[in-house]
Amino acid sequence: MSERRPRVGVVTFPGSLDDRDALRAIAFMGGEGVPLWHAEHDLKGVDAVLLPGGFSYGDYLRTGAIARFAAIMGEVRDFAEAGAPVVGVCNGFQILCEAGLLPGALIRNRTLRFICRSVDVRIETSLSPLTEGLVPGEVLRIPVKHGEGQFVASRGDLEQIEGEGLVAFRYCAPDGTVDDEFNVNGSANSIAGVRNARGNVVGLMPHPEHAVDPDVGPTGGQPLLASLLSRALMRV
């Protein structure tokens, strides 16, 4: 075991909100959070990259549409294509979809309302940087806070996503039942997060970084970030 703590880079875009929470959560879980800046072509030698939540570029045009062209995104793409772990949370998920690093897209919630509450999500795969070592079927309680989290894809893309097992998380009941009643934002097939085919890039709307400290709420984010740190550690 290396003495070095895994270093997870967190990119700050103009309008990012959860970058500091993500850095704190990574440290809380025993890693080293490394602040990265959108305008620099530099990942500072990190072992994993996390794109945080927020409203980069004011969500203008489409969520994530402008941020995907930020200077650092070239390096993030190369990093992902080299097989390194990349995670997108909320707006970070939207950015990864816009960049084509993850399938599908995110549009306005079915209810048109901004949703801010804790939800239950079911793990669907252990082949992602957030779910390694977790058992599909396991349910975690994690907060969501978004206005545009409805996952959509064309019929053909959706079949491919399901067929290849690229769904990483689904909204569900506390006992793991997937039903439209628990589908907070109207996502196709209750999809809360997806991974890429290679299994090194994953995105989700719920916020694991807001769910690590028992003093302030549910701790469903702990196993996810622990998985990310152990995946990052393999690269140390």
Closest contact distance (angstroms) between CB of 109 and another protein is 7
Residue 41 appears among annotated catalytic residues: no
Q: Which is nearer to another protein, 23 or 188 (CB)?
A: 188
Residue 118: beta bridge partners?
Answer: 143
Give the burial class of 97: count Cβ atoms within 10 A of its Cβ; 0-12 exposed, 13-18 middle, 19 or more buried: buried
Catalytic entry in 38, 75, 90, 132: 90
Whole-angstrom distance, CA of residue 89 vs CA of residue 233: 20
Residue 210 appears among annotated catalytic residues: no
Catalytic entry in 124, 132, 148, 209: 209
Residue 90 appears among annotated catalytic residues: yes
Whole-angstrom distance, CA of residue 100 vs CA of residue 36: 21
Q: What is the DSSP string of 59-72?
A: G-SSTTTTGGGSTH
Closest contact distance (angstroms) between CB of 179 and another protein is 19
Closest contact distance (angstroms) between CB of 62 and another protein is 6
Whole-angstrom distance, CA of residue 193 vs CA of residue 207: 11
Q: Which is nearer to another protein, 24 or 62 (CB)?
A: 62
Closest contact distance (angstroms) between CB of 48 and another protein is 26
Q: Which is nearer to another protein, 61 or 234 (CB)?
A: 61
Q: Which is nearer to another protein, 20 or 62 (CB)?
A: 62
CA contacts within 13 A on the Cβ side of 104 = 30
Q: Which residues bind another protein (CB under 8 A)?
A: 61-62, 65, 69, 98, 104-105, 107-112, 150, 152-155, 157, 186
Residue 146 parent element (H or E)? strand 139-146
Catalytic residues: 90, 207, 209
